[in-house]
Copies of this chain bind each other. A is one copy, B any other.
Amino acid sequence: MPHLVIEYSDNLRPFPEAQVLEAVNASLTSSPEILAESDLKSRFATAERFAIGTQPAGRAFVHAQLRLLSGRTPEAKQDLAGRVGAVLREHTPRPAGVMVQLSVEIVDMDRASYVKEKL
């Protein structure tokens, strides 16, 4: 059931997307919080038109959003966010002269109304 969306500003191209998808899916699915590895659906999005703050300085961001069915403990959420953060910290490019901001957000999805099935 988890959905992971990783977004980065396009001044971080070329971003090692395939490596990150492999590493982050391996790390997350090894958590006891994710019961079946096939449940994890991860994807990338690129922000091509963006602005960070108000200064013309070289700035970039990578932001991950992990959406989970509600009910996890705060500790479990912190662990999962930490796993995503660790993979991004390792693989995110650091262009010279560019300040890169990394963030990871956990989102609770409403369990009672969630529809899930295999076609």
Given the complex of chains A and B, what is the CA–CA distance between A50 and B41 in angstroms? 7
Given the complex of chains A and B, what is the CA–CA distance between A80 and B113 in angstroms? 9
Contact check, B82 vs A115: say whether CB atoms are below 8 A apart: yes
Contacts A25-B53, A118-B101: A78 and B42 contacting too (C-beta < 8 A)?
no
Closest to A42 in B: B51
| Chain copies in complex | 3
Contacts of A36 in B (CB 8 A): 53
User: Which A8-62 residues sit within 8 Å CB-CB of chain B?
Assistant: 9, 17-18, 21-22, 25-26, 29, 36-44, 47-55, 57, 59, 61
Contact check, A49 vs B17: say whether CB atoms are below 8 A apart: yes
What are 26 contact pairs spanning A and B, CB under 8 A? A3-B63, A7-B43, A18-B49, A22-B51, A22-B54, A38-B52, A39-B53, A41-B52, A42-B50, A42-B51, A43-B49, A43-B51, A67-B105, A74-B113, A77-B112, A81-B115, A82-B115, A85-B115, A94-B119, A99-B118, A100-B118, A101-B118, A104-B116, A105-B113, A106-B110, A106-B113
